[in-house]
With several copies, the nearest count.
Chain A
Amino acid sequence: MALLTGDLLLKKKGFIRINRDLCKGCGLCIEACPKGTIIMSEKLNIKGYRPAEYTENENSKNRKCTGCALCAIVCPDVAIEVFRG
């Protein structure tokens, strides 16, 4: 029981990588992310889209991303890889 509580308390951490040039800037990942960690980039990518950008540092301890993969699940262009741990 204690362990379980501990597990629950210990928030899962994750991070994502967005392949900038695969992204078509549809914005669905931004809508999907419960943590608000993705934004639209200002600069166009090679295909002329404004791609999504992950705003957190992969190594930061304080990152909000849980690695829930909701962003990747909705991404039509399979532009997002999700990591956990």
Chain B
Amino acid sequence: MIKQVFKRPDALKDNIFHYCPGCGHSVIHRLVAEVIDELGIRGKTVGVPPAGCAVLAYNYLDVDMGEAPHGRAVAVATGIKRCRPDLVVFTYQGDGDIAAIGTAETVHAANRGERLTVIFVNNGCYGMTGGQMAPTTLLGQTTTTTPGGRIQLRDGFPVDLSQMLAVAGGSVYIERTAVTSPKNIIKTKKALKKAFKVQMDDLGFSLVEILSACPTNWKLSSVDSCKRIEDEVIKQYPLMVIKDTTGTHSGADEGA
């Protein structure tokens, strides 16, 4: 019997991605769709796309979506979720969106333990606007606004937002993964699924930071981009569970 073992998930529309060849966003979109399918939540999910390369995420993900201004996705999502706690609400944000302009909103949503799932795509640059330095750009990395490479004294260190969010009382599950290889992609999907479940179980704020390739702005082939992540980026941003207090229910029960 021939049976199809891999096909396009239902929650992914038929539109062709506008992303560049080898772009991590495409993989992550598919994983989100698969997770939505598997959890059976297409009919009660609302997504908030960012300003960033994924601004058109609604062309691909077949769920209700509401746009947010650059950096404000978690604030918009908070508004949605507080009014409709029965919905599953996620944001999809680039590293510039979440870790630069959106720092305050993210820190405070995590602190409040908003029941949101945040998908944080760390590609080390501002993809959409042409590859400028992002908070996550590595030291020495050349971008269009660090033509001589990122210099710590002028441009600062790579920001580790996930670690900062781990300090926040209301964050319950934070994991960093990558979409560089089948193994890592499968791990990423697991993490995404867990993050959604944390929300559905009303435990608190969950976030998956995903190291993702931007071959265009890195000026590398897709394959070399994945290698770069595994060889270099991971040193600065190790793949790991950064926080997991789901066992202790810390998010949900305290203090009320």
Contact = CB atoms under 8 A, between A and B. Distances in A.
- Taking the complex as a whole, does A directly touch B, i.e. does some CB pair lie under 8 Å apart? yes
Interface of A: 14, 22, 24-28, 31-32, 49, 67, 69-70, 72-78, 80-85
A76 B8 contact: no
Contact of B185 (A24, A74, A83, A84): A74
Given A32-B182, A73-B186, 7 more contacts: A14-B5, A26-B22, A27-B221, A72-B6, A74-B27, A74-B181, A83-B2
B21 interface: yes
B5 A83 contact: yes
30 contacts: A25-B21, A26-B222, A27-B22, A27-B221, A27-B222, A28-B226, A31-B223, A32-B181, A32-B182, A49-B21, A67-B5, A73-B182, A76-B19, A76-B21, A76-B24, A76-B26, A76-B27, A78-B8, A78-B12, A78-B26, A81-B4, A81-B7, A82-B5, A82-B6, A82-B7, A83-B2, A83-B3, A83-B4, A84-B5, A85-B2
Interface residues on B, range: 20 to 34
A79 B191 CA distance: 24
Interface in B124-176: none
B30 interface: yes
B3 A76 contact: no
Tell me what chain B mostly uses at the interface: helix, strand, loop, or mixed. mixed
**Most chain B C-beta atoms within 10 Å of own C-beta, residue among A24, A26, A27:** A26
B16 interface: yes
B6 A73 contact: yes
Given A76-B17, A76-B22, A26 B5 contact: no
A25 B223 CA distance: 11
B21 A81 contact: no
B1 interface: yes
B3 A26 contact: no
A45 to B, nearest CB: 12
B222 A28 contact: yes
Contacts of A14: 5
B215 A26 contact: yes
